Amino acid sequence: MSAETTSSTLSELYTEIVAEALFVASERSIMRPLVKNYAITGGGKSVEVPVYGTVSASAVAEASDLSNTAINPTSVTISASENGIMTTLTDLARNSAPRNVAGDIGKLFGEAIAKKIDTDLTALFGGFSNTVGGNTTVMSAGLIFNAVAKLRATGVPSDNLACILHPNIAFDLKSGLSNTFANPNAGVGNEALRTGFAGQIAGVSIYETSNMADASGNNPGTTGDYKGATFHSDALGLAMMQDLKIETQRDASLRADEIVATAVYGVGELQDSYGCEIEADSSIQDA
């Protein structure tokens, strides 16, 4: 067989693989804690999420009845599908490896699932109707202020807002905040210089992830043009039918074990007006 991990059964290492994979999958996902999470239970492979529109209160005269306000939510259906990865670990490779094979495999599988979840969620950014920037725009704090203004103008709650950018786009943001790395401005600019973390801008926490395709759909990106976003946690949803699961199967004739990691989930846009796409072109990545 090709693409095998070439070194006894993994029964005694199974617990370690699972523990490492689950830890890494949960710690390495940037997007998962920033969106609404749902569990698909009770049969079926989808969840229907109610989406409520805004309602308005009005003045009412004393001793007058209030008129009835109908509450008619729409709904978004998120359907789950399987995502997985498998490797074949031979007895010889396992027994001769100088490293902790179980920990390494768990780490790799956890990272793979976390990356897939993040990539699926960041791919939704391009679906937001609100947009700022463009494929020739250099990233700046002004774009974030612009995006936040668009969201708040439509009544989006100011809490639970986050901004996700590709690292090559975040470079331009931090470079501008620190005045091109010379004579930095106080506060955010100094923090960008000291730690590389832009912190908060316009009350929004800034996160970086490379788990994002470029505007042409390439991952890793090749054009330097990426679609990030500023969004409220209610804008996007992650529906989990089965979290990361590890299974092993012995192949005696091959003297090896198949190790399989799977997760069953779906992603979807819940409230379009709660997100704003930020498109920018990196100054350090050539097209």
Highest mean pLDDT among 22-26, 216-220, 269-273: 269-273
| Neighbouring residues of 71: CB distance < 8 A, sequence distance ≥ 6 | 52, 55
Does the pLDDT at position 180 exceed 60? no
Question: Which pLDDT score is estimated for 96?
Answer: 79
Percent of the chain with pLDDT over 70: 80
Which residue type does 69 have? Answer: T
Identify the DSSP state of 55: -
Q: Output b/e per residue, 207-218; b: 16+ Cβ within 10 A.
A: bbbbbbbbbeee
- pLDDT digit string, tens, across residues 187-221: 555 554 444 445 788 889 899 888 888 888 777 77
Nearest to 201 by CA among 191, 210, 211: 191
- pLDDT digit string, tens, across residues 152-172: 998 898 888 999 999 999 999
Question: Which pLDDT score is estimated for 139?
Answer: 93
Distance, CA of 261 to CA of 87 (rounded, Å): 9
- Bridging pattern class, strands 225-232 and 161-165: antiparallel
The tokens describing 83, both together, are: 């995502």
- pLDDT digit string, tens, across residues 52-108: 777 778 788 787 888 887 777 788 899 999 999 998 888 887 777 666 676 777 788
> Domains plus CATH for the chain?
11-52+69-281 (3.90.1690.10)
